[in-house]
Amino acid sequence: MKVQDIMTANVVCISDGATIKDAHLLMQSRGVRHLPVISEADGTLVGLLTHKKMIATVVGLLNRYGAGALDRRERYTPLVELMETDFTPLTTDTALADVVDYFISNKHGCLPVVDSERKVLGIVTSSDFVKLCSKLLKDQ
């Protein structure tokens, strides 16, 4: 099996010019936990924002500045300050056997899928692997 067999297409992405507040609102309104970050200049993948990193950042801001200043801090904190950049994006033809080790040994719960020009085509999450496992177990 390949990445294209389990990835989610039509991914919600966010611009590298966005703020934490923009990301927070987008995650809430679209019901997503992971946001590939794309360049405003050319639309290529430049980073990844995870739900885990977002929560840690918001809680840190809350503890440091208090509830009254949280909204202002979120609005003025650039997203690029907390996005992850230490990952290797996938391609649609990457074998799932090669990807599964990443999810077992890393803390990120997702990886973006890109084309040869680093344009986002989809995303693979740990939940996609759980769904695949469930399907395979039920098919036995």
Q: How many domains does the chain have?
A: 1
- Burial class from Cβ neighbours inside 10 Å (0-12, 13-18, 19+) for residue 20 reads buried
Range of the domain at 47: 3-138
Instruction: Enumerate the β-bridge partners of residue 34.
Output: 50
Detail the DSSP E strand segments found in 10-93.
14-15, 34-38, 45-50
Instruction: Decide if pLDDT at 109 tops 90.
Output: no
Q: 12-47 pLDDT, tens per residue?
A: 999 999 999 999 999 999 999 999 999 999 999 999
Q: For all residues of the chain together, what is the average pLDDT?
A: 92
The CATH number linked to 69 is: 3.10.580.10
Q: 124-135 pLDDT, tens per residue?
A: 998 888 898 888
Q: How far is CA 125 from the centre of its chain?
A: 9
What b/e string do you get for 52-77 counting C-beta neighbours within 10 Å, with b at 16 or more? ebbeebbeebeeeeeeeebeebbeeb
Whether pTM exceeds 0.75 = yes
